[in-house]
């Protein structure tokens, strides 16, 4: 029983400590001078097409931050 209590306390500490540390007074967010990627739409449903037909869609990515946004990798999901 003590082991389960110990694990629960460790888990709570690991989850709550980073949150409380970031909310402490005087803490400056690291995102002040950082890029922030914003996608108005992150999904697109293509209509039915004939097999072998190429289909394309442009996704708009906006940088809402203050630093340059560098896109290093894009994958289809």
Q: What is the pLDDT of residues 28-61, one digit of tens each?
A: 455 578 999 999 888 888 889 999 999 888 888 9
> Tell me, what DSSP letter sits at residue 66?
S
- If you search the block for the tokens 């990798």, which residue do you land on? 73
pLDDT for residue 20: 44
76 domain residue, yes or no: no
Provide the domain count of the chain.
1
Question: 1-10: per-residue pLDDT in tens?
Answer: 554 554 555 6
pTM value is 0.46
d(CA 65, CA 60) in angstroms, rounded, equals 15
Residue 33 belongs to what domain range?
2-43+57-63
Q: Is 73 inside a domain boundary?
A: no
Does residue 19 belong to any structural domain of this protein?
yes
Percent helix, strand, coil in the chain (nearest 5)?
A: 30, 5, 60
The Cα 14–Cα 21 span in angstroms is 11
């Amino acid at each position: 029983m003590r082991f389960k209590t110990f694990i629960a306390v460790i888990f709570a500490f690991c989850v709550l400590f980073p949150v409380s540390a970031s909310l402490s007074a005087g803490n400056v967010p690291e995102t002040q001078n950082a890029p922030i990627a914003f996608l108005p739409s992150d999904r697109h449903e293509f209509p039915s097409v004939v097999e072998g037909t190429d289909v394309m869609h442009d996704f708009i990515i906006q940088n809402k931050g203050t630093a340059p946004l560098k896109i290093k990798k894009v994958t289809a999901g």
